[in-house]
Structure 1
Amino acid sequence: MSERDSIFEERRGAMTGLAYRMLGSRADAEDVVQDAWLRWRGVEAGEVSNPAGFLNRVVTRLCLDRLKSARARREVYVGEWLPEPVVDEDHQDLGEDLSVAFLLALERLTPLERAAFLLHDVFDAPFAEVAKTLGRSEAACRQLAARAREHVKAGKPRYRPSAEEEQRLTSAFLAAALGGDERVLRDILAQDVVMHADGGGVAKATINPVFGLEKAVRLLMGIKKKFPAPDDTVARLARINGAPGIVLSHAGVVFQTMGLEIADGRIVAVYTIRNPDKLARLNS
């Protein structure tokens, strides 16, 4: 492997992590990194004095281009949009701060706010480099990052459950949801729990988030009654975007993931992905 190839491979994980946070899609992130590879190969050896800065700049600009069409697609997206799940060891090369709540907070930012915040606060790029990437002044980039920081602060989980608590609550939720145990659901779900679901208009899923314990229990009991999991469904505990979760499969095909957010001994949010396009990576 040449030195230039080695430099790119050393940066691949960071670039994919940046692109995933920008786009919310692992598949799109990998496409962006592949495009960045082509740009990198087109640069003369010795022409780039700061490879990390150059590659971050290329990836960010490619992501900003993609976000223009992505925003248009999301305006007509059926139901709630959730980021593509990153399961188990898949997240290890992408860094920390992959929680769904954090990614949804990023989604509410403008593309430039998102880029400025990620480059500076997550990937430690100096504002001079951020300004060069975004074609804005350093002062403007500081303002973009500051505005983003305030919005993102609310999206970062403030509670870190222990491994034992995660295991206990995830196992209990899995058994209660599949078995229709209303009593256990009431014991483990928070009063203000929020149920999110993304079916993309392809798979059955709620169109809007469901808020509160009573509605969440009714939803889960209704799903158990009207749309039970197929016979011989295989369920396993997993890490989804760095948090506890569940992967459901049938005949070797993953048809659903459920990421859990836990706080103060209760499940405060459930993020269900049923859109097969967002599960395709798990079946490849």
Structure 2
Amino acid sequence: MFADLNDTRRLDRQLSRLDSMAYVDRDVAAFINNPQSMLLLTIPKCGTTWLRYLLINYSLQVADPGADRADYAALSRYSVERSFIRRGTNPVPETMGDLRPGLGVDYLLVQHLQRGRAMGGRLMVDVMEHGGPKLCASRNVLDFLVSCYYYFFEYRDANRGKASHPRDLIDVYVRYWALNHRYLTERVIPGGGAAMVDYDDLMRDTAGTLAVALDAIDVVPDTDALTRAVERSTAENAAEDEQQQGRTLEADLDRGSFVRSGAVGQWREYFDDDDVAAVERVLSDSGVDPEVTIGPLR
């Protein structure tokens, strides 16, 4: 292993780094990588919360057709943020709601692939250690920019002056989207046991799109239960939950609602041809073919 018996520097450097390495507790690792859990792995503002509603309501409908819907408060009984458990922000839950009737798993883990430090944090490549099925979610990059503009800037006093239009986000946020999209499509999906849910498709045909994704991860979809789940997981339902909660669902925003437009194609109200060309340039520089991602939107 070591031909030079006088060279100890490399091992000393590695030993000195050992104390600073972040280790995941055995019980934590068992929970966040449990092969009997499903991981919802998404880019922010691409339907994460909506998918939580859909998946949990679907499983409840399979177990008890016609049951009351799971509201936002109930989501935490069946799903938990994986990254919060991983870094010790939240303890490992002692019990979780059983999603085995519809999804064949004990519980649902939710994680953005990259978050923290205004979303520029570390890419969580340890998601590849998760042993169960994975549902990934993305969205067309142009609508992603509009949604991020409102959620991270327009609706927050601390950031409101940092951007005055969605085009101000192009240089940074298109790179962010490309990094996440590429990891999902080039690493996670080819790794097996994973399927992509496209937000645009989900908006056009919610039950059909979710059925295809579930089938891809070996969950035989129940069409009737899916229909009932969709009826119980609408934007209007989420807005009602927000009103009952007395604050926005996923963050304390200074104005607006967590549930905004959600419409596919809203980017056309904000971007001109020059803006779209700028997005295409950043995509190309980031290793994403704009003809594949933006071409179909024109």
TM-score normalised by L of structure 1: 0.25
Higher RCO by CA contacts (8 Å cutoff, separation 6 or greater): 2
Structure with higher strand content: 1
